């Protein structure tokens, strides 16, 4: 099972999900198609295309030079995702300024590899600069959170 086959398998599963979901919706009639008509049609097409891809991806494929490892730096990816998820989780309750400082500090320290105090200084500077630019200068509405600003 090569990576291309896995990709088409995922699409097959998605199309099956689409088929099941949309068949449960009202399909209507041809003179007045219902809510499920278009998604069902698309699911059938996606099923066909991904099925074709799944079958054909069994052909031998030339490996290009300098092809990087499939997952690359997985550790870094996980750290960035976790950091961003934490920022999103507390975005509205903590507020933009607080989360901005926290988020940047965490990334500078945990992912970029800066020393803690350097990361904290960058985080505070970046967070405050971002707050000033987006909230005060550009007038973008951001949650005030615990600091109320």
Partner 1 sequence: MGMGQGFLVALSPENLYYCFLGCILGTIVGVLPGVGPLAGISLLLPATFGMKPASALIMLAGIYYGAMYGGSTTSILMNIPGEAASVVTCLDGYQMARKGRAGAALFIAAWGSFIGGNLSVLGIALLAPALAQFAIQFGPPEMFAVMVMAMMLVGYVGRGSVLKTMCMVILGLFLGTIGMDTMTGYLRMTYGIKELADGIGFIPVAMGLFGISEILSSTRDTLIREVLKPKFRELLPNRQELRRSWGPIGRGSILGFFLGLLPGAAHIISSFASYALEKKLARKPEEFGAGRIEGVAGPETANNAAAGGAMIPFLSLGIPSGPATAVMMIALLIHGIKPGPLLIQENPEIFWGLICSMYIGNLMLIILNVPLVGIFVNLLRVPFRLLFPIILLICLVGVYSVNASPTELWIMLGSGVVGFFMRRFQFDAAPLVLALIIGPMMELSFRQSLMMMGGNPTVFVHSPIATVLLVGAGLIGLGSGVKFLFMGRRPKVPTEGG
CB of 136 to partner 1, least distance (A): 12
d(CA 57, CA 53): 6
146 counts as binding partner 1 under rule CB under 8 A: no
In a 10 Å sphere around its CB, with 0-12 CB exposed, 13-18 middle and 19+ buried, how is residue 29 labelled? Answer: exposed
Residues 65-124 that bind partner 1 (CB under 8 A): 70-73, 76-77, 80-81, 84-85, 87-88, 91-92, 96, 100, 103-104, 107-108, 111-114, 122
Question: What would the DSSP string read from start to end of 54-101?
Answer: HHHTTS--PPPTTPPPSS-SHHHHHHHHHHHHHHHHTHHHH-HHHHHH
Q: Which of residues 19-58 bind partner 1 (CB under 8 A)?
A: 21-22, 25-26, 29-39, 42-43, 45-46, 49-50, 52-53, 56
User: Which helix (H) or strand (E) covers residue 6, if one does?
Assistant: helix 3-23
Taking Cα atoms as reference points, which of 147, 52, 41 lies closest to residue 101?
147
Note the residues at the interface with partner 1 (CB under 8 A): 3-4, 6-8, 11, 14, 18, 21-22, 25-26, 29-39, 42-43, 45-46, 49-50, 52-53, 56, 64, 70-73, 76-77, 80-81, 84-85, 87-88, 91-92, 96, 100, 103-104, 107-108, 111-114, 122, 126, 130, 134, 138-142
């Amino acid at each position: 099972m090569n990576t291309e086959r896995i990709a088409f398998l995922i699409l097959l599963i998605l199309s099956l999900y689409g088929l099941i979901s949309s068949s449960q919706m009202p399909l209507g009639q041809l003179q007045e198609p219902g809510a499920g008509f278009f998604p069902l049609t698309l699911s059938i097409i996606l099923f066909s295309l991904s099925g074709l891809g799944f079958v054909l991806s069994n052909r031998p494929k030339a490996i290009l030079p300098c092809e990087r490892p499939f997952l690359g730096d997985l550790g870094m990816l996980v750290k960035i995702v976790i950091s961003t998820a934490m920022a999103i989780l507390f975005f509205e309750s903590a507020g933009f300024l607080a989360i901005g400082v926290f988020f940047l500090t965490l990334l500078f320290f945990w992912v970029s590899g800066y020393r803690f105090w350097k990361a904290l200084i960058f985080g505070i500077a970046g967070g405050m600069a971002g707050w000033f630019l987006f909230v005060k200068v550009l007038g973008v509405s951001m949650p005030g959170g615990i600091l109320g600003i």
